[in-house]
Homo-oligomer: A and B are copies of this chain.
C-alpha cells in the first residue's frame, strides 16, 4: 500500500477568490510521482482554532500532511504557532535559523518581524530552500510550507528526500472528440471491473472553441495492468465510432 498524503491550504485569499490556487495541482502531481498520492485537500481560513483542529485531525488520518500559507512575518501569519499547539510544544526561536537569517539580513536588519519567521515549534526540522532564507519546517508527519508558489515548490524540492515514498502512480489517457459519456458508460465500467486495482475515470471537456469530448484515464502502479487496460479503453472508444487519441487532447 502506498503512503497517503493530505494538504491543508491555509489562506483567506483562496477562500475570497482573490488568488487562484496553484499549489494543489503542483503537489498532486509530485506526490503522485513519488508514490504518496494526495487523498484529501482542505482549504481553511486563517483562524487559529480551525487550523489547530484541522491539522490535528489530518495528521492522525494520513501518513503525511502538508500545509501551505501563513508562515510570513505579518499578523495574519499564524500557522507556525498553530502547528506548535497541535503538537503540544512551545514555539521558540530556532538557533540555526536565527544564525542563517542574521547572516543574510545583517544583525541590524534582523527586525522583530523577521525574527517571527525564525520561530519554530520545538523539535521541528527547518525546510531550508533555494528561494527564501526564512524556512518551512517539518514536525512529526507534518510539513509546513509557504503559500507563494515559487517558494512552496523550492521547499517541496528540499523536503522531498525525507518524505515517505511509494510506488509511482502512472496514468494513461485517451481522448475522443464528440463522444458522449452515456455511450461508453457500460463498457468503461466493465474495464473498471476487470482491473479493480486501477482507477478508471471519465472526464468530459467543453472547450471555449466549442469542441467537446471525453478524456478517459486509467491510473495505477502496475505497468502491465495499465497497458492492458489502456488498450481496452482505446478499443471501446473505437467501438463507439470515435477516434482514440492518446496523450494530449485533440485540439
Q: Which residues of chain A have a CB within 8 Å of any CB of chain B?
A: 9, 12-21, 24-30, 32, 37-46, 72-76, 111-114, 116-117, 148, 150-151, 169, 171, 173, 181-186, 188-189, 192, 199-206, 215, 217, 219
Number of copies: 2
Closest 10 CB pairs of A and B: A17-B28, A17-B29, A113-B185, A75-B189, A41-B43, A113-B182, A74-B202, A73-B182, A114-B182, A74-B185
What are 16 A-B pairs with beta-carbon distances under 8 A?
A: A12-B199, A12-B219, A13-B203, A17-B25, A17-B29, A18-B215, A21-B21, A46-B201, A73-B182, A74-B202, A75-B188, A76-B192, A111-B183, A112-B186, A117-B182, A151-B206
Docked CA distance A116–B238 (Å): 24
**Contact of B15 with A28 in the complex, beta carbons under 8 Å:** yes
Residue of B nearest to A13 (CB): B203
Quick one: given A15-B28, A32-B16, A148-B205, are A188 and B43 in contact (CB under 8 Å)?
Answer: no
Please tell me which one of the listed residues B13, B32, B205 contacts residue A217 in the complex, with CB atoms under 8 A apart: B13
Could you tell me if A150 and B21 are in contact, using CB atoms closer than 8 angstroms? Answer: no
- Interface of chain A: mostly helix, strand, loop or mixed: mixed
B72 near A181 (CB under 8 angstroms)? yes
Partner of A16, one of B9, B74, B219: B219
Q: Known: A42-B40, A201-B76. Is A18-B189 also a contact (CB below 8 A)?
A: no
Which residue of chain B has the shortest Cβ distance to A31 in the bound complex? B17
Known: A111-B182, A181-B113, A185-B113. A15 touches B37 (CB 8 A): yes
Which residues of chain B have C-beta atoms less than 8 A from A25's C-beta? Answer: 14, 17, 19-21
Q: Which residues of B contact A150 (CB under 8 A)?
A: 206
Partner pick for A24 among B43, B113, B182, B215, CB 8 A cutoff: B43
**Complex: A10 Cα to B228 Cα, angstroms:** 27
Tell me the smallest distance from the CB of A109 to a CB of chain B, in Å: 9
Could you tell me the distance in whole angstroms from the C-beta of A171 to the nearest C-beta in chain B?
A: 7
A113 CB contact (under 8 Å) in B26, B42, B44, B183: B183
A37 touches B21 (CB 8 A): no
Complex CA gap A123/B118 in Å reads 55
User: Shortest beta-carbon distance, A184 to chain B, in Å?
Assistant: 8
Assess the A21–B24 pair: CB atoms within 8 A.
yes
